[in-house]
Amino acid sequence: MATFRRRRILPNESSKVLEGSESTRETEEILNLRFTYKKATIPFLNAVTFKDHCRAQEKILARCNLKECVILQTCNRVEIFAVIQPGESCRAYESIAECWRIEVKQSPTAFYSGLEGSSGYEALTHLFRLASGLESMIVGEDQILGQVQDALNESEKRGVAGPILRRAFDRAIKTGTKVRIRTGLNKGAVSIGSAAANLLEQLLGSLEGKKIIVIGAGETGMLVGKALAVRKPKVIYVANRTYQMGVRLAKMLDGQAVRFNRIRDYLADVDVVIVATAAPHTVLTTELVADILRNRGGKELLIVDLSQPSNVEEAVKALPNIHLRNIDDLRRIAEGNLKMRLAEVRNAETMIKSELERFELQCRRERVEPLISAICQRAENVRQKELTKALKMLGDLDQEHEKILEDMTRSLLERILFHPISTLRKAAVTGNDQIVSTVEELFDTKLDQDAVEYLTRNSDERIAAWHEDQKART
């Protein structure tokens, strides 16, 4: 397993490491590129979201010469996690970024102004924080944990993610679960659903007696629906393209399911519309909303778009008696939630740091296990060969004497290898690549790179320099 020891990449020699890293052993690297609510507005997140992320994922994997790739898209972020070829952090970062930019048809100026990236240890730290809910707009929310798991499962199912990302994601998810259990970070936290309900109450006052339609019966729709149901509106309608999913959620909310093609009929009567679908296209067009306004008699309509990408045309907000809100409007509630939960956040960060250190040690130890296995196997082959020759030379021996020779040679082998193997494992834990290389040479045994599962050598300074150069050019 590769260590987490950090390194920099020379500007024009991406395959070489700077002074202080004596090994140029080929290992994999985990790379992360992302747009999130922290630096991008919801309209811009919509613009950089992949309309067909499966096709885009396969295209990026092939064109950028990646080993593995996972794309995570939620209402607050679009992220790519990739495993790149050895020593190609900068080339891969540039290649993925450009492929992404071209795919979503954005100008360099707009695209690079909001793009963030990290590699190696920093990429893993970000993944652990992400799964723990520390990178969420609503700190501590549980939804992101399932979204991270789903992104990995889907990528594995299509063969674009493999053992490296599987192991990193699995450990991050376990850490996220442990953080929530031990710190209580998610207890009493404001969810996307309750934040949306709070926003409605700020705008409308009490929701009692209000008629609400939720378009989309997925996870976000369910979270919002549950938060609304406890506030006792007059009725909650649920519309979903798959009618039976809408029926299930409606029963859960003690509401009423409606056919997706009949949304227009209900828009003429409701007070609030929650749009929470995963559709890659617009659900509420300006033309549709303008048409239903004719039948509302001047009654105001509040629309909250929680979809990613947005499913409500931006021009809808210019129509009379229409109030359009989106994820950006939840930021104020999220910021208040964060202030109240700073103690839990600090505890969570301490736990994440500890889990990363444990993961680091495990990766360091396991990195040399293929080498140790190869050395032991080679020594065992020699022992068996020489023992067979000795037994032939000694002639007929009974089983007891053969066992004595067997045990003696095995004991000698174990004693001879004990100190070299202990030293090798210690060198792996301390990051002493020179000893690892020396052992490889002494035993004429190279690490099997297929067995080395992680790259954590960091090249963020080089990536940041390239990133700044891109923005300067534009």
**Residue 242: CATH number of its domain:** 3.40.50.720
At residue 176, the pLDDT reads: 94
Q: Residue 75 catalytic? A: yes
Whether residue 245 sits in one domain with residue 183: no
Residue 11 preceded by cis peptide, ω within 30: no
Closest listed residue to residue 46, CA positions, set 106, 112, 123: 106
Q: Report if residue 107 sits inside a domain.
A: yes
Q: Report if residue 135 sits inside a domain.
A: yes
Q: What pTM was computed for the model?
A: 0.63
Ranges of beta strands (E only) in 75-156 are 77-84, 116-119
Q: Are 316 and 286 in contact (CB under 8 A)?
A: yes
At residue 163, the pLDDT reads: 87
Q: Report if residue 452 sits inside a domain.
A: no
Query: DSSP 3-state assignment of 70?
Result: strand
Q: Report if residue 2 sits inside a domain.
A: no
Q: Report if residue 421 sits inside a domain.
A: yes
The mean pLDDT values, 10 residues at a time, for the chain of 474 residues are 31 29 44 92 86 91 91 92 85 93 92 91 93 86 90 93 91 93 73 81 88 89 87 91 90 90 89 88 89 87 87 90 85 67 83 89 79 87 91 88 91 90 85 82 63 40 54 55
Whether residue 286 sits in one domain with residue 228: yes
Q: How many domains does the chain have?
A: 3
Helices (H) and strands (E) in the chain — how many of each? 18, 12
Whether residue 116 sits in one domain with residue 223: no
Q: Report if residue 349 sits inside a domain.
A: yes
Domain stops at, among 280, 311, 330: 330
Whether residue 359 sits in one domain with residue 303: no
User: Residue 300 belongs to what domain range?
Assistant: 192-330
Whether residue 117 sits in one domain with residue 58: yes
Whether residue 28 sits in one domain with residue 109: yes
DSSP state of 189: P
Task: From the candidates 64, 75, 99, 363, give the one annotated as an active-site residue.
Answer: 75
Q: Are 375 and 443 in contact (CB under 8 A)?
A: yes
